[in-house]
């Protein structure tokens, strides 16, 4: 188990189920639906990204924002909306007042907020291989373009940097939205590859 995430233990796919969404944010809709601004170059791994990859992340960001607004409207998602995921059978559901958002799901990676260590899903032996395919495609893209952050199994990743990795995956067309789940102290980045709304 890599340094920085050893204390958290392995990800148990059966345990990453049922949680509350944004219950600690009073103005949940404004906070969560607010468009994320373009990532700026800091003294972190983003400085290693060429301009066209930054633009790719921007495209992913736009897709993410548009998808969220659409799902919120059609499913009636709110502060008490719950979600469930079963990584064993590739199933994610996000329950709204007007319908359920259902989608196949991939894991991009996990983040330990205690030390800001990001571990790519393809480097995590506790995850089902079938749920790491999108992360592996990001890795292959990184190898082709020689982008170190996309091919390094574990990174130091501040809070605002993690979204860049998510948005690159979306920009590559691997999914449309990333949901941030939790198991123990780990943040689990769940890529919704084809979210659909099932009306009630």
Of the candidate ranges 37-46, 75-84, 95-104, the one whose mean pLDDT is the lowest: 37-46
| C-alpha dist (Å) from residue 101 to 64, 164, 179 | 15, 24, 12
Q: Which two tokens stand for residue 62?
A: 């736009």
87 in Cβ contact with 131 (< 8 Å): yes
Cα–Cα distance for residue pair 53/50, rounded to 1 Å:
5
Count of CB atoms situated within 10 Å of the CB of 129 = 10
| C-alpha dist (Å) from residue 181 to 16, 50, 63, 92, 105 | 7, 29, 20, 11, 12
Of the candidate ranges 103-107, 118-122, 162-166, the one whose mean pLDDT is the lowest: 162-166
Residue 158 confidence (pLDDT): 75
- Which residue from 109, 114, 79, 110 is spatially nearest to 97, judged by alpha carbons? 79
Count of CB atoms situated within 10 Å of the CB of 103 = 24
Bridge partners (DSSP) listed for residue 120: 109
Residue 32 confidence (pLDDT): 40
Cα–chain center distance at 199: 25
Note the pTM of the prediction, 2 decimals.
0.79
179 in Cβ contact with 136 (< 8 Å): no
Bridge partners (DSSP) listed for residue 107: 190
pLDDT one-digit tens code per residue, 33-75:
444 444 433 346 777 788 899 999 999 999 999 999 999 999 9
Cα–Cα distance for residue pair 116/118, rounded to 1 Å:
6
Section 162-176 average pLDDT: 96
More confident residue, 29 or 179: 179
More confident residue, 142 or 6: 142
Question: Per-residue pLDDT for 177 more than 80?
Answer: yes
Cα–Cα distance for residue pair 90/105, rounded to 1 Å:
6
Residue 137 confidence (pLDDT): 98
């Amino acid at each position: 188990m890599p340094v920085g995430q050893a204390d958290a233990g392995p990800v148990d796919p059966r345990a990453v189920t049922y949680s509350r969404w944004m219950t600690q944010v009073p103005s949940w809709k404004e906070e969560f639906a607010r468009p994320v601004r373009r990532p700026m170059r800091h003294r972190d791994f983003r400085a290693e990204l060429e301009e066209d990859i930054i633009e790719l992340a921007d495209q992913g960001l736009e897709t993410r924002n548009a998808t969220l607004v659409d799902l919120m409207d059609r499913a009636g998602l709110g502060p008490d909306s719950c979600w469930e995921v079963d990584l064993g059978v590739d199933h994610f559901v996000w329950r709204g007042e007007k319908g359920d958002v259902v989608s196949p799901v991939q894991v991009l990676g996990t983040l330990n907020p205690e030390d800001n260590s990001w571990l790519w899903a393809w480097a995590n032996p506790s995850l089902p291989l079938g749920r790491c395919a999108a992360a592996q495609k990001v890795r292959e893209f990184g190898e082709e373009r020689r982008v170190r952050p996309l091919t390094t199994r574990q990174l130091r990743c501040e809070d605002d940097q993690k979204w860049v990795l998510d948005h690159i995956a979306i920009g590559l067309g691997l999914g449309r939205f990333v949901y941030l789940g939790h198991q123990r102290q780990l943040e689990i980045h769940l890529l919704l590859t084809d979210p659909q709304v099932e009306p009630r």
